[in-house]
């Protein structure tokens, strides 16, 4: 007898939510509210429009938008139409947007009018057939020259032939771009199967129960919101959109919308803890955090606020979270600070993940686990359904990332006797600032476009708010004069503003090896002197 298996896809989550809870509130976006039945209707209408406008199976659709109803709807409509979703970081500069649109071969660009305005006319490749402006938060059409109205795309009747199923669960559902050490972002391919299984892992790890209410303090563009754009729908939860993280707005929505779950980088936790509106939640709120290990200090502050912190670890290449620091009963007997230190570790693989390893690699690509002594450092490697399909149009980079049969994270860590992993350093020259990856080479290249700069090296340095920030060491050209502020402003015209260095230090010459290679480790060691960990949260 033939098997009756069906391909896995997170599209099924929305179909099921409509079956079980059609009248439940699916989305809250400012004054607008949509039930699951209404959300599904909009998804089907947009998918129909994409197909009618010529979107072919496997073609990409880009979205440049803050957390909004339209950004969430795209997570279902684009793959339902057979397309591949490309969520764009809202903080990118126009040249960066242009590179991703070209590399992903995007056929349509949807987005918020204010974000699209600086892109139109300068960064939209000819291959993009149409630019579509999302409505304002109140639902009114946005007037934007050179863009079509979103409402016109939803005007036609949905095609009944469209299905919530897919033929191939290994087909690509999304491409997410991440910064790398080369300076050029790489397109990380997610499959329908991987997105489905990682979403199931998120349901367990984040403690989602039916009809849970979730506040979007995490960007939907970041790893598809750690797959929560799909996971929350699996339990017919309410997506409460937050377009910008401000302490006052976060706490207002927590109270008004009776929020019980949220997530974000340690920076978000810091904003919440320092807000005047912060108050005791008496165990009624759980926050998941990742992007950089949260400091024991912030975890302790949240414990004082009666907020449970779930610490997870992952990368864009692992669909977001891959592991979680699951609390042990014995930790209850520890002091608050001791407990916070335990929670700040990276933990063990999630239920949807394979085992997380810390290894040493030999020349023959054989991976050997480090001893569980909490001292011996190795590299974290991952594999399984929660690891990317590969890098889009980058076969060599994919092969290199998967050497030895496991994905190499570039994060250096130790394995503790209890089997929990703890990161101590990064092998890659990537600065993780507030949960965002910043390539030091990309920043260096931007600085070198200034005529006064002869040589430069950028490293990550500790920052109390962002975990770490780029610092630039600059050697000026002979006779040139420029100050720190001017160089920082110059960088902001070349790349996203958040990637600009916070500090510029001028040197006569950079430290180099005998072969002329810059000793970044020497610069970095001085900045991190006296600290036991080079990964700050």
**All domains in the chain, ordered by first residue:** 11-242 (3.40.50.12780), 356-426 (2.30.38.10), 430-527 (3.30.300.30)
Kind and range of the H or E element at 12?
helix 11-20
Give the closest residue to 38 by CA, choosing from 212, 163, 154, 211.
154
Q: Specify the pLDDT at position 228.
A: 98
Distance of alpha carbon 380 from alpha carbon 349, whole angstroms: 11
Distance of alpha carbon 517 from alpha carbon 438, whole angstroms: 21
- For residue 534, give the DSSP letter: S
Q: Specify the pLDDT at position 178.
A: 86
Q: Which residues pair with 216 in a beta bridge?
A: 241
Give the closest residue to 267 by CA, choosing from 63, 464, 426, 15.
464
Query: pLDDT 10s digit of each residue in the chain, 537 long?
Result: 457 899 999 999 999 999 999 999 999 999 999 999 999 999 999 999 999 999 999 999 999 999 999 999 999 999 999 999 999 999 898 999 999 999 999 999 999 999 999 999 888 999 999 999 999 999 999 989 999 999 999 988 898 889 999 999 999 999 999 864 445 889 999 999 999 999 999 999 999 999 999 999 999 999 999 999 999 999 999 999 999 999 999 999 999 999 999 999 887 888 898 899 999 999 999 999 987 666 677 788 899 999 999 999 999 999 999 999 999 999 999 998 888 889 889 999 999 999 999 998 777 778 999 999 998 989 999 999 999 999 999 999 999 999 999 999 988 889 999 999 988 766 666 787 777 778 777 788 789 889 899 889 999 998 888 888 999 999 998 899 999 999 999 999 988 999 999 999 999 988 875 444 578 888 988 888 877 665 544
For residue 460, give every residue at least 6 positions away whose Cβ sits within 8 Å of its Cβ, in sequence order, or none. Answer: 426, 430, 431, 432, 433, 438, 440, 468, 469, 470, 471, 524, 534
Q: SS in 3 state form for 205-268? A: HCCCCCCCEEEECCCCCCHHHHCHHHHHHHCCCEEEECCCCCHHHHHHHHHHCCCCEEEECHHH
Q: Specify the pLDDT at position 437.
A: 73
Helix (H, G, I), strand (E, B) or coil at 109: strand
Q: Specify the pLDDT at position 537.
A: 41
Q: Which residues pair with 83 in a beta bridge?
A: none
Segments in 105-246 forming alpha helices (H): 113-116, 150-153, 192-205, 223-226, 228-234
Helix (H, G, I), strand (E, B) or coil at 30: coil
Distance of alpha carbon 410 from alpha carbon 327, whole angstroms: 26
């Amino acid at each position: 007898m033939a098997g009756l298996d069906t391909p896995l896809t997170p599209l099924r989550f929305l179909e099921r939510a409509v079956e079980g809870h059609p009248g439940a509130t699916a989305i809250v976006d400012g004054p607008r509210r949509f039930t699951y039945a209404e959300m599904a209707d909009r998804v089907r209408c947009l998918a129909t429009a994409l197909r009618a406008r010529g979107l072919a199976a496997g073609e990409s659709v880009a979205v440049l938008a803050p957390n909004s109803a339209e950004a969430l709807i795209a997570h279902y409509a684009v793959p339902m139409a057979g397309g591949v979703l490309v969520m764009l970081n809202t903080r990118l500069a126009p040249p960066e947007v242009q590179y991703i649109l070209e590399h992903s071969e995007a056929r349509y660009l949807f987005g918020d009018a204010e974000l699209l305005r600086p892109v139109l006319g300068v960064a939209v490749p000819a291959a993009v057939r149409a630019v579509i402006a999302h409505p304002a938060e109140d639902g009114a059409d946005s007037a934007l020259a050179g863009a079509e109205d979103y409402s016109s795309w939803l005007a036609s009747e949905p095609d009944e032939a469209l299905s919530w199923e897919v033929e191939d669960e290994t087909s690509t559902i999304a491409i997410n771009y991440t910064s790398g050490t080369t300076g050029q972002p790489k397109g990380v391919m997610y499959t329908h199967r991987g997105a489905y299984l990682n979403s199931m892992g998120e349901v367990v790890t984040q403690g989602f129960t039916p009809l849970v209410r979730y506040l979007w303090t995490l960007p939907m563009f970041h790893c598809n919101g750690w797959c929560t754009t799909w996971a929350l729908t699996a339990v017919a939860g309410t997506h409460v959109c937050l377009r910008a993280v401000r302490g006052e707005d976060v706490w207002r929505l927590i109270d008004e919308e009776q929020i019980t779950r949220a997530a974000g980088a340690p920076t978000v936790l810091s904003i919440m803890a320092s807000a005047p509106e912060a108050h005791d939640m008496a165990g009624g709120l759980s926050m998941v955090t990742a992007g950089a290990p949260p400091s024991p200090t912030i975890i302790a502050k949240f414990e004082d606020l009666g907020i449970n912190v779930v610490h997870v670890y992952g990368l864009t290449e692992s669909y977001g979270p891959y592991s979680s620091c699951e609390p042990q009963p014995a930790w209850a007997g520890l002091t608050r600070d001791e407990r916070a230190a335990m929670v700040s570790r990276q933990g063990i693989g999630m239920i949807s993940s394979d085992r997380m390893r810390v290894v040493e690699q030999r020349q023959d690509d054989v991976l050997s686990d480090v001893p569980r002594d909490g001292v011996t450092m190795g590299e974290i490697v991952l594999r399984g359904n929660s690891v990317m399909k590969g890098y889009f149009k980058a076969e060599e980079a994919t092969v290199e990332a998967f050497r030895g049969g496991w994905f190499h994270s570039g994060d250096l860590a130790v394995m503790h006797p209890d089997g929990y992993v703890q990161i101590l350093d990064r092998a890659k020259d990537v600065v993780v600032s507030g949960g965002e990856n910043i390539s030091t080479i990309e920043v260096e290249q931007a600085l070198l476009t200034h005529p006064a700069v002869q040589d430069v090296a950028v490293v990550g340095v500790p920052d109390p708010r962002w975990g770490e920030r780029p610092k630039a060491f600059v050697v000026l050209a002979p006779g040139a004069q420029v100050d720190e502020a001017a160089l920082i402003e110059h960088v902001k015209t070349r790349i996203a503003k958040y990637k600009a260095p916070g500090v510029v230090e001028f040197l006569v010459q950079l430290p180099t090896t005998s072969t002329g290679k810059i000793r970044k480790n020497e610069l970095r060691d001085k900045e991190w002197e006296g600290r036991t960990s080079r990964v700050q949260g």
